[in-house]
């Protein structure tokens, strides 16, 4: 079952819960992150991409409470060589233009991602 074995792959998206976004807005931002991570990993990290793509493409959406946390997780992911994508909203609606809304990390092994984001709550 995707996401249950430590060798399975998943993609996590960390979303700022301190911004006032509707559920539709959040979904669009998470979709931006997922599409970016998928294409980036297909190009540069085919082993993780293929294992993820062929086994259900598990996606997990987690919450953070500040922009600062997104930058911290991004720095950790980059240091470990894991694909990631920080999303800046065009800001036409709901929130300030240029707001950073979420961060996609992966696809990568569940065991690796859980060491980084395992303490975060589901959104």
Residues contributing to the site for a copy of itself (CB under 8 A): 1-2, 13, 15, 22-35, 38-39, 56-57, 59-63, 90, 92, 122-123
Residue with smaller CB distance to a copy of itself, 33 or 86: 33
The CA–CA distances, whole Å, from 92 to 21, 74, 86 equal 12, 25, 18
Find the shortest distance in angstroms from Cβ 27 to a copy of itself: 4
Residue with smaller CB distance to a copy of itself, 39 or 75: 39
How far apart are the C-alpha atoms of 23 and 41, rounded to whole Å?
27
Tell me which H or E stretch contains 16: strand 9-16
Residue with smaller CB distance to a copy of itself, 38 or 112: 38
**Residues linked to residue 122 through DSSP beta bridges, in sequence order:** 62
């Amino acid at each position: 079952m995707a996401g249950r074995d430590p060798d399975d792959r998943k993609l996590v998206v960390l979303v700022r819960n301190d911004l006032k976004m509707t559920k539709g807005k959040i979904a669009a931002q998470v979709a931006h992150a997922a599409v970016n991570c998928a294409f980036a990993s297909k190009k540069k990290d085919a082993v993780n991409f293929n294992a993820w793509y062929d086994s259900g493409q598990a996606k997990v959406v987690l919450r953070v409470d500040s922009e600062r946390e997104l930058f911290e997780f991004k720095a950790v992911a980059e240091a470990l060589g894991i694909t990631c994508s920080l999303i800046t909203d065009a800001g036409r609606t709901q929130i300030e233009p240029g707001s950073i809304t979420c961060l996609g990390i992966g696809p990568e092994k569940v065991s690796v991602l859980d060491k980084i984001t395992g303490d975060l709550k589901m959104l």
